[in-house]
Amino acid sequence: MKKIIVPVDFSIHSENALKTAALLAKKTNATIIALHMLDIQEVNLSESPSYQQEKAVFFLKLAEKKISEFLQKGFLEDLEVVPLIKHYKIFSEVNQVAKEVNADLIVMGSHGVSGLKEFFMGSNTEKVIRFSEVPVFVVKKELKDTDFKDVVYATDFSEESIPAFKNMLKTLDVFNAKKHILYVNLPNENFKTSPEMDAIAHEFLIKAEGNTDRLINVNFVCERSIEKGILNFSNAVGADLITTATHGRTGLSHIFSGSISEDLSNHAALPIMTFKI
């Protein structure tokens, strides 16, 4: 892990994300890129070009001052922290920035949303998860350490999720944590018997790693929703971190199918890490 992006909006949530990134950077000697998305409203057509430019420069200088002050934190001492300001359009652009700087991880703070606000608006964190091609680490509160002991990885054991599984193993190497691989069995047309679940786990691990050594850490639970199954299992094993793959659905597919990763980022108290399929 060499570069970690932290979107910064000067809130307590982005400060918590920055603290988490600092803990990770100390473990891996990574550079932290503090990204501020500058929201300059569309200019009035009646304004002269020179005035438009003056206004843009004013807000840019103000943002530079604010981010410089925000980064004066004791927990960032002795770390390489690079401030980066981008003109805000849509939060999917965080993924573009991540590709430009070749980032390994995005760390975001979130307070979560629920109810009608969640349905109609979502959250910036959701939007980043939906579009990001690099892992996204979502924290809900200040983490005192990142010495994770038990990590839950929720999967559907599909062949298309194998790259995300491998990325998870690579990213979590630094934690040296026990990985609980979880499949949630639902009471619907996709319900599977115990032998069927054993078979798909076996086939998945053979394709992913060429062996079934991790079968000992595979768990199956039956629940009425995938989200509830993940949360209940994570509580039962005392997990420190929940990880999952995401398809990054958009448009009508996202509205009707939803995203387990985004729901978890909104509702789970534990930190969440997502990996794009």
> The CATH number of 1-142 is which of 3.20.10.10, 3.40.350.10, 3.40.50.620, 1.10.3720.10?
3.40.50.620
- In this prediction, residue 49 has a pLDDT band, given cuts at 50, 70 and 90, of low
- Residue 255 belongs to what H/E stretch? helix 251-257
As a whole number of angstroms, the distance between CA 179 and CA 242 comes to 10
Please tell me what DSSP assigns to residue 186.
P
- In this prediction, residue 264 has a pLDDT band, given cuts at 50, 70 and 90, of confident
pLDDT at 51 over 80: no
Q: CB-hemisphere CA count at 13 Å for 176? A: 3
Q: Are 142 and 13 in contact (CB under 8 A)?
A: no
State the pLDDT at residue 76. Answer: 96
Q: How far is CA 236 from CA 180, 224, 245, 263, 274, in A?
A: 12, 17, 21, 20, 21
State the pLDDT at residue 116. Answer: 36
Q: What is the mean pLDDT of residues 95-111?
A: 91
Q: pLDDT tens digit string along 238-262? A: 999 999 988 765 443 333 344 677 7
Q: pLDDT tens digit string along 123-145? A: 677 788 888 899 999 998 899 99
Q: Are 102 and 3 in contact (CB under 8 A)?
A: yes
Where, residue-wise, is CATH 3.40.50.620 in the chain?
1-142, 147-272
pTM of structure: 0.86
37: left (phi over 0), alpha (psi -120 to 50) or beta: beta
Please tell me what DSSP assigns to residue 83.
E
Q: What is the mean pLDDT of residues 206-224?
A: 96
Annotation: CATH topology of 147-272: Rossmann fold (3.40.50)
State the pLDDT at residue 40. Answer: 59
Q: pLDDT tens digit string along 9-18? A: 898 999 999 9
pLDDT at 147 over 80: yes
- In this prediction, residue 178 has a pLDDT band, given cuts at 50, 70 and 90, of very high
